[in-house]
Chain A
Amino acid sequence: MTNRMRRTLMTSSLALAAAALLPLPAFAADKIKVAAIYTVPVEQQWVSRIHKALNAAQTRGDIEYVFSENVTNADYERVMRQYAEQGKGLIVGEAFAVEAAARKVARDYPKTAFLLGSSGKPQAPNFSVFDNYIQEPAYLTGMIAAGMSKSGQIGMVGGYPIPEVNRLMHAFMDGAREINPKVKFTVSFIGSWFDPPKAKEAAFAMIDRGADVMYAERFGVSDAAKERGVLAIGNVIDTQAQYPDTVVASALWNMEPTIDTALKMVKAGSFKAEDYGKYSTMKFGGSEMAKLGTFESKVPAELIAKVKAKEKAILDGNFTVKVNDAEPKSN
C-alpha cells in the first residue's frame, strides 16, 4: 500500500467517522423520538400497560419508539443518559428505586422531556411523574369480590407492600366492605415481583384456609384459583381470556391518556413538569373496570346495579375513593 493510498484511506475513514458522529438530519421531524426504560421485562403487568400505549402511538405513526427492558437499578442512570445523549424527545420509565439519580439526569438534559413513574413530586422544568392511580376500578372490583364470595373470605397475594400495590389493595378492601362489612381478608407478600410458583403456593395456602375469591396482584394467583375452582379478580391487566371461568372482573390501567397527553405537550413544545397521576383515573379514561365478559350472567343483577351506580357516582365526582398507601394487613 502506498503512502498516498494510506492517506486517502485514512481521510475517508475519518470523514466517515465524523459523519457518523454528526447528528442525523431531522428527516423524520414530525415523529417524536421516544425511549422507554423498564426495570422488568415488558410482560410485567405494570410495564406492559406503558409498553402497549407507546406501541399504539408508534403504530399510529406519531413516534419512533425504542425501549430497554430488564435494566437493573444500578444501570438505570447510565441508560437514561445514553438515550438523552441520543437526542430523544421523550424518555419514559420508572423512577421508584432511582429517584435521586433520575432527577439528576433530568437536570442535566433540560431539553429532553422526562415522564417517569414515581411516588414523588414533579421537578421543574422537565421531569413529570405518573403512577397507577387506578384505585377507582379497584374499589368496584372489590364490591364484586365481596358479592361473589360465599365464604366471606378473600385472599390477597402481593409482591412487595409498596404504595402502588397498597393503595389498590386498600381500595379493593374498602369496596368489598361496602357490600359485606364482615368480609375477612388474608394478605401475604412473597418478596418478589417474579416468582409465579411462589405466588401460587401463597394462593393455595389461602384457598386451603377458606378463601374463595382471590385478588390476583401477581402472576400465579389466578392459576391457583383455576386449579381449585375458586374465583379471581384481576389487577392492571385483563386476563379473563386465559381464565374464562376464574377471573370475574379486573381493574384495568390504561396508559394511553397519560402517554398521549405527554406526546401532545412535547409536540407543541409546551412540556412542563407536571403530575400526570390524574390521567390514570376513570374520568380521563386512564382506568376502568373490565367488561364482565364470561361472568356477565353469573354476577347477580342486583350486585351489578350497585357497582354501576358506584361507577356513575365516581364519574360524576360524587364519590371519591380514599387513597391509602399504608401496608394492608390480614384481619
Chain B
Amino acid sequence: MMDFLANLFDMLGSASFWVATLRVATPLILGTLGVLICERAGVLNLGIEGIMVAGAFTGWLAVFNGADLWTGVLVAGLVGGVFGLLHAALTVWLTVSQHVAGLGVTLLATSLSAFAYRVSFPQVSTPPTVTAFAPLEGLAGLPLIGPVLAGQTSLTLLAIALVPTVAYLLYRTPMGLALRMVGENPAAAEGQGVDVIAVRTGAVIAGSILMGLAGAFLTLSAFNAFFFNMINGRGWICVALVVFASWRPGKALLGAVLFAAFDAAQLRLQQAGGALPYQIYLMLPYLLSILALIVMARRAAYPQALMKPYRKGER
C-alpha cells in the first residue's frame, strides 16, 4: 500500500503525467464545449461521435492534399458545421426526435468518412501520414507550468483558451443570453423578440464546429494518420461530461481534465505491474467518472427546454 501511494505521488508530481493528461483531455475539452453549446440552446447532439470522425478525416485529408495544418483545422470545423446544420434541420426545423436524429447523424458521418477514405485511398497497405502539429518547446521557460505546456501543441492551447471564451459569450453577451433563454424557455424568448429557431440552429452549428475540431486534434496533433475507429467512443464521453459539468464551461474543463488524468493514471498504474487484470485498469476512468457524476450531478440544473422541440405558435 505504501508503495502504491509512493508511486501515485511520484506520478502526480511528474511533468510527463500532466503533459499526457492535457493531451488526452484536449479532444474532450473541445467536444464537451461543443455538446454544451448545443444543449444550452435546448438541443441534444448525439451526432458528436460521427462529427468527430468526419472532422478527423476531412481535416487530415486536407493537410494530406497539401493544405497547411491550420487550413486542415478550418476544414474540419466547416465539415463539423455542415453536419451541425443537418442536425439542426432535422431537430430544430422538422422537430424530429433529437436522440434518433443525432444517432442518425453519427451513423451517416462515420460511414461517409469511411466511404470517402476508401474512395480516396483504394490501395494502401499502411495508412498514409501527414506532418502533425509540433509541441511548443518554446514555452518550456515559463515557471511551474512551462514543462507541461511545452509538451502540448497549439490546438491544446486553443482548446483551453476556448473555455473562458465560451463562458464569456454565454454569460456576458446578449447572444449568450438569447442562447440560454431558448434552452430554458423558448416561448418566453420568442416573446422577447428572439428568433428561437435561428438561435438554436446557430448554436447547433457552432457546437458542431467544435466537435469537428475535436476530431481534427486526433489526426493532426495526437496522431498523424486517420483510422476508421479511432474516435473510439470519445464523443460519448463528452456527452456524459456535460452532465458532470452541470452545463457550465469551467466545470466542463475540470471534468475533461479529470477524466484524462484518470486515463493517464490507469496506463501508468497498469504498467507498474499491478496484480489486477488489465481490464480493471481500463475500466478505471469510466468507473471513477460514474462516481464523480453521481456526486456532481445530484444538484445539476439542466436546461429546462432540453430535448423539447419548439414549434412556433403551439400551445
Binding site for B on A (CB under 8 A): 40-43, 48, 51-52, 69-70, 155, 161, 186-198, 200-202, 204-206, 208-209, 219-220, 223, 237, 239, 242, 327, 329-331
A295–B288 Cα gap in the complex (Å)?
A: 45
Which B residues are in CB contact (< 8 Å) with A208? 14, 16
B230 touches A188 (CB 8 A): no
Partner of B271, one of A43, A186, A193: A186
Cβ contact within 8 Å between B16 and A194:
no
A191 CA to B281 CA, complexed, in Å:
10
Question: Are the C-beta atoms of A201 and B223 separated by less than 8 Å?
Answer: no
Knowing A204-B20, A239-B126, the reply to whether A330 touches B273 (Cβ < 8 A) is yes
The minimal Cβ–Cβ distance linking A280 to chain B, given in whole angstroms, is 18
User: Is there contact, CB below 8 Å, between B126 and A209?
Assistant: no
B231: min CB distance to chain A, Å: 9
Task: Assess whether A219 is in contact with B267, with CB atoms less than 8 Å apart.
Answer: no
Contacts A48-B125, A48-B126, A220-B223 given: A205-B20 contact, CB under 8 Å? yes
Check A188/B270 contact, CB under 8 A, given A161-B278, A201-B264, A208-B14: yes
Cβ-based interface call for B124 (8 A): yes
The answer on a CB contact under 8 Å between A43 and B229 is: no
A190 to B279, CA, bound (A): 9
Chain A nearest Cβ from B30, distance in angstroms: 14
B267 touches A202 (CB 8 A): yes
- A-binding residues in B (CB < 8 A): 14, 16, 20, 23-24, 114, 118, 124-127, 129, 218, 222-225, 227-230, 232, 263-264, 267-268, 270-273, 278-279, 281-282
Complex CA gap A195/B267 in Å reads: 14
**Nearest CB in chain A: distance from B213 CB, A:** 15
Q: Which of B24, B229, B263, B272 has the most CB of A within 10 A?
A: B229
Task: Please tell me if the beta carbons of A191 and B127 are within 8 angstroms of each other in the complex.
Answer: no
Q: Is the interface of A mostly helix, strand, loop or mixed?
A: loop
Contacts A/B (CB < 8 Å), 18 sampled: A186-B271, A186-B273, A188-B270, A188-B271, A189-B282, A192-B229, A193-B229, A195-B230, A197-B230, A198-B232, A205-B271, A208-B16, A219-B227, A223-B223, A239-B126, A242-B126, A330-B271, A330-B272
A197 touches B278 (CB 8 A): no
CA distance A45 to B206 in the complex (A): 38
Which residues from A are CB-within-8-Å of B118?
69
- Out of A70, A161, A220, which one reaches B228, CB within 8 Å? A70
Asked if A219 and B271 make an inter-chain contact with CB atoms under 8 angstroms apart, the answer reads no
- Known: A43-B127, A329-B273. Is A191-B279 also a contact (CB below 8 A)? yes
Q: Which 8 A-B pairs have the closest CB atoms?
A: A197-B222, A330-B273, A194-B229, A191-B282, A208-B16, A186-B271, A188-B270, A196-B223
Question: Closest approach, in angstroms, between the C-beta of A47 and any C-beta of chain B?
Answer: 10
Query: Contacts A69-B118, A188-B278 given; 8 further ones with Cβ under 8 A?
Result: A188-B267, A188-B271, A196-B227, A196-B230, A205-B20, A205-B264, A209-B271, A237-B125
CB distance from B172 to the nearest CB of A (A): 35
Are A219 and B225 in contact, with the CB atoms below 8 A? yes
> Whose C-beta in chain A lies nearest to the C-beta of B229?
A194
Q: Which residues of B contact A205 (CB under 8 A)?
A: 16, 20, 264, 267-268, 271
Instruction: Give Cα A43 to B125, complex, Å.
Output: 5
Residue of A nearest to B264 (CB): A201
The answer to whether A201 and B24 have CB atoms under 8 Å apart is yes
Q: Separation in Å of the B129 CB from the closest CB of chain A?
A: 7
Contacts of A191 in B (CB 8 A): 278-279, 282
> How far apart are A222's CB and chain B's nearest CB, in angstroms?
11
| Alpha-carbon gap, A329 to B273, bound state (A) | 7
| Chain A residue nearest to B15 in the complex (CB) | A208
User: Which residue of A is nearest B228, CB measured?
Assistant: A41
Q: Is there contact, CB below 8 Å, between B20 and A197?
A: no
Question: What is the distance, in angstroms, from A68's C-beta to the closest C-beta of chain B?
Answer: 11
- Across the interface, which residues of B come within 8 angstroms of A220, CB to CB? 223
B230 touches A194 (CB 8 A): yes
Chain B residues with CB under 8 A of A327 = 278
> Which residues of A have CB within 8 Å of B225?
196, 219
Complex contact A194–B228 (CB within 8 A): yes
Q: Indicate if the CB atoms of B223 and A197 lie closer than 8 Å.
A: yes
Cα of A324 to Cα of B199 in the assembled complex, Å? 61
Residue among B118, B270, B271, B272 facing the most chain A CB atoms (10 A cut-off): B271
Please, how many angstroms separate the alpha-carbon atoms of A159 and B83 in the complex? 32
Within the assembled complex, what's the spacing in Å between the Cα atoms of A69 and B124? Answer: 13
* Set of chain A residues within 8 Å of B279, measured between Cβ atoms: 191
A235 to B74, CA, bound (A): 36
Least CB distance from B232 to A in Å reads 5
Minimum CB–CB distance for B117 against chain A, Å? 8
Could you say which residues of chain A place their CB within 8 Å of the CB of B114?
A: 41, 70
Residues from chain A with a CB closer than 8 A to the CB of B282 are 189-191
Residue of B nearest to A189 (CB): B278
Minimum distance in angstroms from A306 CB to a CB of chain B: 29
A329 to B222, CA, bound (A): 27
Residues of chain A lying within 8 A (CB to CB) of residue B278? 161, 188-189, 191, 327
Knowing A189-B278, A200-B223, the reply to whether A195 touches B271 (Cβ < 8 A) is no
A41 to B232, CA, bound (A): 15
Residues of B within 8 A of A242 (CB): 126, 129
- Give, as a whole number of angstroms, the nearest-CB distance from B32 to chain A: 17
Complex formed: what's the CA distance from A127 to B129 in Å? 38
Residues of B within 8 A of A192 (CB): 229, 232
Name, among A190, A198, A219, A329, the residue most crowded by chain B CB atoms within 10 Å (CB to CB).
A198
Q: Are B230 and A43 in touch, CB under 8 angstroms?
A: no
Closest to B135 in A: A227
* B222→A200 contact, CB < 8 A: yes
Docked CA distance A60–B270 (Å): 48
